[in-house]
Amino acid sequence: MRPLNGNQPNQKVQVTSRSARNLTFYVRHEKDTMDQHSVVLRSAKPTLDEGLEFARYLDEAAEGFFRLMLGRRASQIMAQAFVMPDHDLSYQNVTFAERDNIVMGMVSGYTAEQHRRSSLGPLKEAAGGRNLRMRVVLILFAPLMRIIDSIADGDFYLQAIAVDEQLRGDGLGALLMDALEQRARESGATRLSLDVSAGNQGAIRFYERRGMTIESQWPKRLKIPVLKFHRMTKKLG
């Protein structure tokens, strides 16, 4: 957790404090006074500092995939891509949860249409000389990338969600999901979808409690959970 500069929230979200257990969560809007327990949910800003926060959460949610693909400088590379608009890893798709200017969690996602318009260009540009490593990993993981790439029309895709380890289990993840669902509805999406590793039982339980169900599995016959992925979906009412 690190303090970031500037914390004016610019995203309105529904308050669901019933999901919080030990902490009193509510969402602060711009004119409210700050309470020591209040959690602010706000859109990310295009700065490298925020990009580094995003990279940390994204890599955790993706179980180290980005570090594998981009090497030791993965965070810096992702942060450079993050400040660019109109692609999957852009700040435009990211909501942070913070309290007293300290970021505690992140959720990111986009519509099927935004994803179709996106390319790996900004990440490749940021990776520069490390492009070769990236290409090799993308080729090795091509079948998985194809699955992740296939977002149905009308879906809003949850790219990643993560909360600081010591703050898990207190309802912050539920608040971030609420914020994403609201963004999804506002975009006109009719379904929420995501991919999760079958080995990530905690996250699967979390999603199931949020009304998501497993729609398909990949690869179909493989029994090793760490190499297996579930596509989970939920209709948006």
Smallest gap from Cβ 22 to ligand COA, in A, equals 9
Taking the least distance from each CB to ligand COA, the nearer of 131 and 150 is 150
Taking the least distance from each CB to ligand COA, the nearer of 7 and 197 is 197
Smallest gap from Cβ 131 to ligand COA, in A, equals 27
Containing H/E element for 134? helix 131-140
DSSP state of 125: H
Sequence-ordered list of residues with C-beta below 8 angstroms from that of 81, at least 6 positions apart, any chain: 51, 87, 89, 90, 122, 123, 125, 126
Helices and strands in the chain, H and E counts: 9, 7
Smallest gap from Cβ 60 to ligand COA, in A, equals 5
Beta-strand runs (E) in 45-123: 94-99, 102-111
Taking the least distance from each CB to ligand COA, the nearer of 65 and 76 is 65
Taking the least distance from each CB to ligand COA, the nearer of 79 and 148 is 148
**Which residues are near ligand COA by CB under 6 A?**
19, 60-61, 161-163, 168-174, 196, 200, 202-203, 205-206
Taking the least distance from each CB to ligand COA, the nearer of 9 and 105 is 105
Cβ 13 vs Cβ 172: under 8 Å: no
Smallest gap from Cβ 68 to ligand COA, in A, equals 16
Q: Which residue is nearest to ligand COA (CB)?
A: 173
What sign has the CA pseudo-torsion 110, 114, 118, 122? negative
Smallest gap from Cβ 169 to ligand COA, in A, equals 3
